[in-house]
Amino acid sequence: MEHPGGVCAGNPGKGLLQFHDFGGSQRPSAARSYMPENNKPKWVIGSVAAGLCVVLLIVLAERGPAPQVQIVSVTREDLSASITGNGKVEPIAPTIAHAEFPTFVADVKAAEGQSVRKGQLILTLDAADVRAQLSQARANLLATQTDLRNARAGGPPDDVAQLQGDLQKAETQVGNLERTQQALTQLVTKGAATQDEVAQNQAALTTARASLQTVQQKKAALEQRASVNVESAGLHMKQQQDLVEALEEKVRSATVFAPVDGTLYSLPVRKGDFVKLGDVLAEMADLRQVRVRAFVDEPDLGSLAQNEGVQVLWDAMPNRIWNGKVEQVPKQVVARGSRSVGEVLCSVDNDKVELLPNVNVEVRILVHEQRGVLVVPRGAVRYDQGQHFVLAYDGDVVHRRDIKVGVAGENKYEVLSGLAQGDKVALPGEVDLRDGTKVRAAEGK
């Protein structure tokens, strides 16, 4: 095929010879006359191709949709921070009736779980043997009281009276003989009495004085014995008094009454049961006010303080919350299974008597509480090199904004500075958001 200018070309790109018309004659010319144009360095071509790809990607990126992220508004709410632990319900002032002696249950007049009035009869025990022991103990007490009185009086009344009579008789006899001896001595000087009469009276006086001394010695010995017996008789009487009081208490304990208005929350015995010393017969309390013993893990104990608010939850009534307050913070840490806990005593309102003693509950102790504060979801708050920040949403772009947080609730932070009510922030998702990222908003709660 002929081309204008006398050029005949083969298949370009195949490296064939080309013929040119130079003054009417044709001769072959080497293709190397075009080599500098067709064999440019390969790196130039690669660079151009890479540049085109980058431009294409940028164009496609600008044309593609921005990622969709969830956007939430900064609002004002009541915010609280709490410590959660488990606990057990206890009556605040329970009355527990125990068996004071082994015996049988004679009768039961109440039912477990019922409300009782002060003075209401709950049950009775068989106390016949104890009453017999009490009668004997009272008789023994009377005897010891008599012994103590006798000891304090110097001895048994009959012995004391006999010695007193003998003593008076001996003293009278000695006195009479002494007066007679004095008169006889005077009469002898006058010649009106003989020396034999004086000697006979002196012998009688000596005998009377010996008898008086004997009676006096008996009286002193009796008084000494009595003084020693005062202490022992007093101790014996005290023992008998204690025994009588103990038996009287046992007799009283055989009849169980309700001490106050309340609930009979435990009645483990039935009529005819045999009970041993110390067995529980009944448990009663006013359950309108109960106590929860909360077990708080050691790392959380530093935030506790008296009178902090308490919420109690029970699985048996999942839609019910009981309110109370911390009555006593722990003074020590104890082992409870694999945990190291402090036992926190909390008083709880139970006006409907729904919480039962000894049930296991969940306890939330409100250690911080703020009302009407700015809050932001915890998931929206990030932390970098000591600074909290959020990605604030402005139009179609998110920007980093540093904030200062306060109380940390279960799901939200209190915002002290950096945000205002109504500001919008982005929540994290599958998209890696950065300062300046364009996004599409999906409104959250």
CATH of the domain at 403: 2.40.420.20
18 pLDDT band (50/70/90 cuts)?
very low
Task: Give me the pLDDT at residue 4, please.
Answer: 42
Mean pLDDT is highest, among 181-190, 216-225, 261-270, for: 261-270
Task: Give me the pLDDT at residue 285, please.
Answer: 93
Residue 88 lies in a domain: no
Q: Are 266 and 294 in a shared domain?
A: no
Residue 189 lies in a domain: yes
19 pLDDT band (50/70/90 cuts)?
very low
Count of other CB atoms within 10 angstroms of residue 431: 13
**One-letter identity of residue 353:** V
Task: Give me the pLDDT at residue 11, please.
Answer: 42
Total of domains in the chain: 3
Count of other CB atoms within 10 angstroms of residue 80: 17
Q: Are 413 and 302 in a shared domain?
A: yes
Q: Are 161 and 223 in a shared domain?
A: yes
Work out the end-to-end distance of the chain between its first and last CA atoms, rounded to an integer number of angstroms: 78
Task: Return the structure tokens found at 377.
Answer: 């979801």
401 forms beta bridges with 390
Q: pLDDT above 90 covers what percent of the chain?
A: 45
Find tokens 């125990």 and name the residue: 98
Task: Give me the pLDDT at residue 147, please.
Answer: 80
Cα separation, 405 vs 387, whole angstroms = 10
Cα separation, 259 vs 250, whole angstroms = 17
Count of other CB atoms within 10 angstroms of residue 421: 11
Count of other CB atoms within 10 angstroms of residue 103: 20
Contact 404, 441 (CB under 8 A): no
More confidently predicted of 182 and 409: 182
More confidently predicted of 357 and 35: 357
Task: Give me the pLDDT at residue 40, please.
Answer: 52
Task: Give me the pLDDT at residue 348, please.
Answer: 94
* pLDDT at residue 47 greater than cutoff 50: yes
Task: Give me the pLDDT at residue 24, please.
Answer: 42
**Pairing, β 360-377 against β 262-266:** unpaired
Mean pLDDT of the region 46-64? 59
Residues 6+ apart with CB under 8 A from 271: 105, 106, 107, 108
Least confident of 32-41, 188-197, 292-301, 317-326: 32-41
Contact 257, 284 (CB under 8 A): no
More confidently predicted of 297 and 190: 297
- Give the burial string for 200-229 (b: 16+ CB within 10 Å, else e): ebeebbeebeebbeebeeebeebeeebeeb
Q: Are 153 and 261 in a shared domain?
A: no
CATH of the domain at 246: 1.10.287.620
* pLDDT at residue 188 greater than cutoff 80: yes
Mean pLDDT (the chain, rounded): 83
Chain centre to alpha carbon of residue 363: 11
| Long-range CB contacts for residues 131-135, cutoff 8 Å, separation at least 24 | 131/251, 133/247, 134/244, 134/247, 134/248, 134/250, 134/251
- Give the burial string for 44-65 (b: 16+ CB within 10 Å, else e): eeeeeeeeeeeeeeeeeeeeee
Chain centre to alpha carbon of residue 292: 6
394 forms beta bridges with 397
Least confident of 38-52, 140-154, 371-385: 38-52
Strand order in the sheet with 255-257: 255-257, 121-125, 103-108, 274-275
406 pLDDT band (50/70/90 cuts)?
confident
**Pairing, β 334-336 against β 68-73:** unpaired
Task: Return the structure tokens found at 56.
Answer: 């294409």
Mean pLDDT of the region 84-110? 94
CATH of the domain at 116: 2.40.50.100
Find tokens 């909390």 and name the residue: 346
**Pairing, β 424-426 against β 68-73:** antiparallel
Task: Give me the pLDDT at residue 46, please.
Answer: 67
Cα dihedral sign for 66, 68, 70, 71? positive
Q: Are 335 and 192 in a shared domain?
A: no
Question: Which of 231, 253, 275 marks a domain boundary?
Answer: 253
Residue 89 lies in a domain: no
Q: Are 344 and 408 in a shared domain?
A: yes
Residue 115 lies in a domain: yes
Residue 437 lies in a domain: yes
Q: Are 170 and 230 in a shared domain?
A: yes
Cα separation, 333 vs 298, whole angstroms = 7
**One-letter identity of residue 284:** M
Q: Are 231 and 316 in a shared domain?
A: no
Mean pLDDT of the region 383-404? 91
* pLDDT at residue 253 greater than cutoff 70: yes
Q: Are 270 and 166 in a shared domain?
A: no
Residues 6+ apart with CB under 8 A from 264: 110, 111, 112, 113, 114, 115, 116, 122, 258, 282, 283, 284
Cα separation, 65 vs 53, whole angstroms = 20
Mean pLDDT of the region 89-117? 94
Query: How do residues 367-376 score in pLDDT, each as one tens digit?
Result: 887 889 999 9
* pLDDT at residue 157 greater than cutoff 80: no
Task: Return the structure tokens found at 169.
Answer: 């008789």
Q: Are 303 and 424 in a shared domain?
A: yes
Q: Are 108 and 150 in a shared domain?
A: no
403 forms beta bridges with 388
More confidently predicted of 264 and 385: 264
Q: At what angle do helices 157-190 and 195-253 cross, to 10 degrees?
A: 170
Task: Give me the pLDDT at residue 323, please.
Answer: 94
* pLDDT at residue 65 greater than cutoff 80: no
Residue 426 lies in a domain: yes
Residue 428 lies in a domain: yes
* pLDDT at residue 166 greater than cutoff 80: no
Residue 60 lies in a domain: no
Residues of the domain holding 270 = 94-122+257-285
* pLDDT at residue 321 greater than cutoff 50: yes
Mean pLDDT is highest, among 207-216, 295-304, 320-329, for: 320-329
- Closest C-alpha to 336, from 88, 93, 90, 83: 88
Helix H or strand E encompassing 285: strand 280-285
34 pLDDT band (50/70/90 cuts)?
very low
More confidently predicted of 213 and 314: 314
Task: Give me the pLDDT at residue 244, please.
Answer: 95
Q: Are 232 and 141 in a shared domain?
A: yes
* pLDDT at residue 310 greater than cutoff 90: yes
82 pLDDT band (50/70/90 cuts)?
confident
* pLDDT at residue 2 greater than cutoff 60: no
Mean pLDDT of the region 213-231? 73
